[in-house]
Amino acid sequence: MKAKLEVYLKETVLDPQGKTIKNALKNLGFDEIEDLRVGKIFYIDLNIEEEGEARRIVEEAAEKLLCNKIIESYKVYL
Amino acid sequence: MKIAVIVFPGSNCDFDVYYALKEIAGIPSELVWHKEKTLKNFSGVVLPGGFSYGDYLRAGAIAKFSPIMEEVKRFAEEGKPVLGICNGFQILTEAGLLEGALLRNRSLKFLCQDVFLKVENKNPIFLKELKKGQIIKLPIAHMDGNYFCDDKTLKELIKNKQIAFRYCLHNGKIEEENIKANPNGSLYSIAGIFNKKGNVLGMMPHPERYVEKILGSRDGIYIFRSLKNFLMG
């Protein structure tokens, strides 16, 4: 089974990279883009097919290593 | 009595710390590979700066699982001195031994420059030779030094006197929003913090780089000499 893990900075954490990219887009004429934040995506291959178990494993990996919960949140997609 | 300087794959300030401890402060020290599992014969430990595991994922995120870190945690719990400098500070926050996290510098630039620091609190292990309110000059060299924690944690840090150093101007003025006074944009201009017990110190500036006159300043020596006095009397 394939899983996708999204890790992104919490709303309350400043994202200077996102801000800089948003400003660059504004300069290119993308006036409609109001805000933009940068996150990470992990593409994960699991050797199991059971959804509940797959979700549990990816969540554990996020909690243990892939996400720092002081500054980041995450979402799992299967 | 010996201090362990941990060497991770990608550490690059390990030898400078070893030199400052051994040759300048006169504390017996040894470089210890991160795969070691015991610090049995040591009384203190330093996690030096560098780019452990290439800063992959997040700075310090992978190093926290190195085998030696179990011993570092034990040291922290037992009240023995643990000092993390730069990447070492990042590892200590990732490992949960210090509160908060170190984000990308607000300017998104790697910063390599001198900074002025105000000693915010007293500490019998690391800051014995410094006075509260004293201004010292040390260099920084980092990409992720922008200290962050939530409001509740910040209040706790202030209340418990856990803030060791704050970035300031040469005259001691602290201006959080001024890039000259707080170059990486750290919350509350925080440059270094202690754990609650005061035996774990994490700091972004590099004291080991300013221990001899020929290097431009000797202000870093206070920290190593304080440590020596604490351990050796």
- B149 pLDDT higher than 80: yes
Name which of B58, B94, B148 is nearest A13 (Cβ-Cβ).
Answer: B148
pLDDT, tens digit, 9 for 90 and up, residues B69-87: 999 999 999 999 999 999 9
- B43 pLDDT higher than 80: yes
CA nearest neighbour of B46 among B10, B11, B96, B94: B11
Q: What does pTM read for this prediction?
A: 0.93
Can you tell me the ipTM of this complex? 0.82
Q: How far is Cα of residue B158 from the mean position of the Cα atoms in its chain? A: 18
pLDDT at A55: 97
Q: Average pLDDT across each block of 10 residues of chain A; the chain has 78 residues. List them in order.
A: 96 91 95 94 96 96 96 96
pLDDT at A76: 97
Are B61 and A13 within 8 A, CB to CB?
no
* Chain B residues lying within 8 Å of A68, measured CB to CB: 58, 61, 94, 101
pLDDT at B152: 96
pLDDT at B107: 92
- Band of pLDDT at residue B233, cut at 50, 70 and 90: confident
Name which of A14, A16, A68 is nearest B101 (Cβ-Cβ).
Answer: A68
Alpha carbons B96 and B90: distance in angstroms, whole number:
10
Alpha carbons A51 and B39: distance in angstroms, whole number:
43
Alpha carbons B184 and B206: distance in angstroms, whole number:
15
Q: Which of B34, B71, B120, B206 is catalytic?
A: B206
A45 CA: distance to closest CA in chain B (Å): 18
Residues from B in contact with A at Cβ < 8 Å: 57-58, 61-62, 65, 93-94, 100-101, 103-108, 148-150, 185
B178 CA: distance to closest CA in chain A (Å): 16
B94 CA: distance to closest CA in chain A (Å): 8
- Band of pLDDT at residue B177, cut at 50, 70 and 90: very high
pLDDT at B200: 98
- DSSP per residue, B76-144: HHHT--EEEETHHHHHHHHTTSSSSEEEPPTTSS-EEEEEEEEE-S--TTT-TTS-TT-EEEEEEEES-
| Structure-token pair, residue B23 | 């040759």
Q: Is the backbone of residue B90 left (phi > 0), alpha (psi -120 to 50) or beta?
A: alpha
pLDDT at A39: 96
pLDDT, tens digit, 9 for 90 and up, residues B184-205: 999 999 999 999 999 999 999 9
A-interface mutation test, from B148, B151, B152, B154, most A Cβ less than 10 A away: B148
Please give the interface size between A and B, counted as residue pairs whose CB atoms are below 8 Å apart: 34
* 3-class DSSP assignment, residue B21: helix
- B216 pLDDT higher than 90: no
pLDDT at B68: 97
pLDDT at B162: 98
Task: Note if B142 is an active site residue.
Answer: no
pLDDT, tens digit, 9 for 90 and up, residues B85-138: 999 999 999 999 999 999 999 999 999 999 999 999 999 999 999 999 999 999
Strand duo B200-203 + B101-103: pairing: unpaired
Task: Note if B168 is an active site residue.
Answer: no
